[in-house]
């Protein structure tokens, strides 16, 4: 496997405009980290001042519910006898995976369970704000879990130490209305808005709205001071008038306020009746997750017996010097398929969008390519690993009631990982952008496809 400075790369966790993120292990101590790698070819596309600013902010942070910086700097990336200098950021790894992957695969949290994690989230957010730091990109992808099911806030690429901001950064779906309008805004007050979105998704297992704009069919009711209509629509979609407690509704409405100066403060949240409701113990949370994992394994076994999707695939696409269009590439920019190395499955790193197969890596690779090229023309084959990133646009359904699940593109990464000391591989999918619940539907389709074309098994 490739090495980067003092770390051995184990598997890819994601890709972004700045480069790639890997699960890596320190060669001497065996400590695992999430390693962001910015390669030389990416330097001209990345503002290194912003990267260094992120590192400086991370150096100030020490909190149990925030991912910790381990080290950062230039180092040598070595693979297959080649070596070049890259810039790396090593971060504490949250081995429990993404909180919302778990929710999307196993169902919404009760208000009590959501309260448990929201307490941790608010502790971390208050800590940041007391240090004069706003996160400015609070979203589902940035809420992780450690091995003991403690929440971790991650990704400080857009963090700010300014009292007033005007740059429109973050993810549009999660931006507060004042940011979308291009106004000057307080990053800390915008963070409160993001906190409301995260709490709502924990309990509802869906988005509250598409964007915080007055044209949005859901948010317009908040913006026009008609929260009763907002909740009427959400209660209707749940089919249960008692699904949301009145205290929950009141808290969320206060967090979503259109006018940032009317939004609840952290101290007001702490004194709110909902926040001070029953709080499960850590043992109760562990039992909740154990039960959900058992239910998930049963569901995966059930899916294995369903009729698989059938597809045709031209294997000539995979021959020697074939080239494939990458996401965002122009017609002239293509990348040759090179010899690949197998990444390693790590059972200590949890990902809920995965399944296993006893087929050979080449058969699995052929099937993965067949699946991806069959659903989209926007994909990129890794030249180094058995890995593909893809972008899929969900087709709109005529008359679809759920206005929160539109044709938003989903960008995801699929890895084929070798399970150590066993004759099987793990097919592992990670969403990089887009609606997580739409992605879960896409993952189930991927697994069903493999069930018909390779020896897919649940465990």
The backbone torsions φ and ψ at residue 153, rounded to the nearest 5 degrees and listed phi first, read -85, 130
Cβ-proximal residues to 252 (8 Å cutoff; 6+ apart), any chain: 196, 199, 200, 208
Alpha-carbon distances, residue 99 vs 172, 297, 321 (angstroms): 20, 17, 40
137 is catalytic: yes
The answer to whether 444 touches 437, Cβ cutoff 8 Å, is: no
Marked catalytic residue, from 50, 101, 137, 305:
137
Alpha-carbon distances, residue 314 vs 308, 346, 357 (angstroms): 19, 32, 22
Q: How far apart are CA 256 and CA 44, in angstroms?
A: 38
Q: How far apart are CA 159 and CA 187, in angstroms?
A: 9
CA of residue 42 relative to chain centroid, distance? 22
Q: How far apart are CA 289 and CA 296, in angstroms?
A: 10
End-to-end Cα spacing for the chain:
25
The answer to whether 169 touches 157, Cβ cutoff 8 Å, is: no
Q: How far apart are CA 103 and CA 98, in angstroms?
A: 9
152 labelled as ligand-binding? no
The closest alpha carbon to 195, from 157, 155, 156, 143, belongs to: 143
Catalytic machinery residues: 137
Q: Which residues are annotated as a binding site for ATP?
A: 36
Q: Which residues are annotated as a binding site?
A: 36
């Amino acid at each position: 496997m490739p090495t980067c400075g003092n770390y051995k790369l184990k598997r890819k966790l994601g890709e972004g405009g700045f480069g790639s993120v890997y699960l890596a292990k320190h060669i001497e101590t065996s400590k695992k980290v999430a390693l962001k790698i910015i390669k030389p070819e990416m330097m001209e596309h990345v503002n290194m001042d912003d990267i260094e600013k992120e590192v400086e902010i991370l150096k100030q942070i020490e909190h149990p519910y925030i991912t910790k910086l381990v080290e950062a700097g230039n180092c040598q990336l070595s693979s297959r006898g080649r070596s070049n200098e890259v810039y790396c950021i090593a971060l504490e790894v949250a081995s429990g995976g993404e909180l919302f992957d778990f929710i999307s695969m196993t169902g919404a949290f009760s208000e009590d369970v959501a309260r448990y994690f929201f307490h941790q989230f608010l502790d971390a957010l208050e800590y940041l704000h007391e240090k004069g730091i706003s996160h400015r990109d609070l979203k589902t992808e940035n809420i992780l879990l450690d091995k003991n099911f403690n929440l971790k806030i991650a990704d400080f690429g857009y963090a700010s130490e300014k009292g007033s901001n005007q740059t429109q950064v973050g993810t549009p779906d999660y931006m507060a209305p004042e940011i979308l309008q291009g106004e000057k805004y307080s990053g800390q007050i915008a963070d409160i808005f993001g906190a409301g979105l995260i709490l709502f998704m924990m309990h509802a297992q869906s988005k509250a709205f598409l964007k915080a704009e007055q044209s949005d069919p859901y948010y317009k009711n908040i913006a026009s001071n008609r929260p009763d209509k907002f909740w009427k629509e959400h209660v209707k979609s749940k089919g249960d008038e008692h699904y949301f407690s009145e205290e929950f509704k009141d808290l969320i409405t206060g967090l979503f306020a259109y006018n940032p100066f009317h939004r609840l403060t952290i101290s007001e949240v702490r004194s709110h009746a909902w926040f001070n409701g029953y709080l499960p113990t850590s043992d109760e949370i562990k039992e909740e997750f154990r039960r959900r994992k058992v239910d998930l394994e049963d569901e995966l076994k059930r899916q294995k017996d369903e009729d698989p999707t059938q597809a045709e695939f031209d294997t000539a696409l995979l021959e020697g010097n074939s080239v494939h269009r990458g996401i965002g590439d122009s017609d002239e920019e293509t990348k040759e398929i090179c010899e690949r190395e197998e990444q390693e499955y790590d059972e200590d790193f949890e990902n809920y969008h995965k399944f296993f197969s006893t087929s050979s890596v080449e058969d699995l690779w052929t099937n993965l390519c067949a699946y991806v090229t069959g659903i989209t023309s926007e994909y990129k084959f890794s030249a180094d690993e058995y890995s593909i990133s893809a972008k899929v646009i969900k087709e709109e359904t005529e008359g679809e009631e759920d206005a929160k699940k539109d044709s938003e593109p989903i960008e995801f990464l699929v890895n084929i990982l070798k399970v150590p000391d066993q004759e099987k591989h793990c097919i592992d999918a990670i969403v990089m952008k887009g609606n997580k619940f739409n992605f879960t539907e896409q993952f189930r389709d991927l697994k069903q496809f493999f069930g018909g074309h390779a020896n897919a098994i649940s465990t």
